[in-house]
A and B are shown apart, each in its own frame.
Chain A
């Protein structure tokens, strides 16, 4: 059994999500190869050789693979996939964009967002916004799977010594092109990888009030998230959204401030180790999952919390 992991990378570095995906591959067992596709990705490939447990790094360095356009990357993965028993990618927007296209071209079902590996062909994944856990078995010749990164502890980024092999294949479908991107800039830790997350909801009232959460987060070394209500109200950009349709987080500590706790939001954070809720409505559903609840006005509680930690 040999497993191909499609690496997620950005700005010339291997993204942390790749390390969780390699961890899932290690649970399946067998040789683990990592594919680094992109343009000028020599540095990323070099970093990928050091990931613990990886035996080979395949490098597809071509202008067609820049920005991970699925029309070009999927045929590359399909061409390589035939030699593998499993193809894995993290369930990031890139992984979700590319892998179903790969699966359809291989004429197999894809299994989305696995949270555990039961055996080489059996996996667990959440359905209905995390309100049920399905155990699914695949009979596909090549099992195509995306991995929920919060379900697996990352492997070490250092210590490995994989061989590098260049992949010559260039696929350019010529059907899509990259126009531009607008990336949100932040000095705080990445939301899905942070140990502590402070999230605000509609109760914040407006975008300006999020400054209270930012200063608390900076003191805790935390990332800042938001509920859909806060995003839809325009308080913060959408890439901060935690939930079924946003990002899935499972930090050591999740502090929900002014968030009622709709099913959609809980789906994104209920696997956090410790959940704290600060809300003035003591009937809010968030208190049913919170380890520590504080019924208080957030505008008094948050500054006080910042002072005391």
Chain B
């Protein structure tokens, strides 16, 4: 088995979810290489070389990999693919963008968002918004997949892999990066936070999210949202937790003013402890909450902040 992991990074630093992906790769076993493709991505490559168990870090540093355009990235990975039995990336918008394209180029199947490695050719993943778990087996020679970060522990980072620069440039000129609007936040990243507090339609407007932020500050938590809150324009989409947003599994998830629709539960029901604060005692969220408080959130949340 020889495995290639596509690193998730922003050129300067390696995203933690790459370390969860490494753990999944380790469970398959064999030699593991990491590809870091970007522009001026030397420090991300250094961080990848420190992941325990990595054999080599391959670095493709060129302007055409800026923004990790799917066309150029898939073409680059295609040039390396014949050396590998498995090609994996974290389940992020970048991984989900690139790897299916790569799989079709290689005429092989792709497994999206795997939650467990059963063996080198058998994996588990969720379907129907997390309401069923499918075990799939493939006879394809190259296995392409993305890995759910919250389903695997972080690997350690005391290694010192060799770093090799790749000279391949695969600029297809089909697409170009125009610009990016990044959401600024001082808080921990939603997908890796130990505590998440989320608001739903019950928050009524965007300003009211400040009461959640005050609690988040006291707990060192990240702030999330349901689709209803995002669609109503209360908060930006990158805060959305659910089937079509981010999947989180923190130690503590506090759902405030969230009814608990199937699509939202898909994104958070693997949290260790779930707390629901809702004034509707019949809200479906109470059927998964370890601790439920039937109360008006505008009284309960400030009171919670005081109590912490």
A and B pair up: no
- Residue numbers of B with Cβ under 8 A of A are none
- Residue numbers of A with Cβ under 8 A of B are none
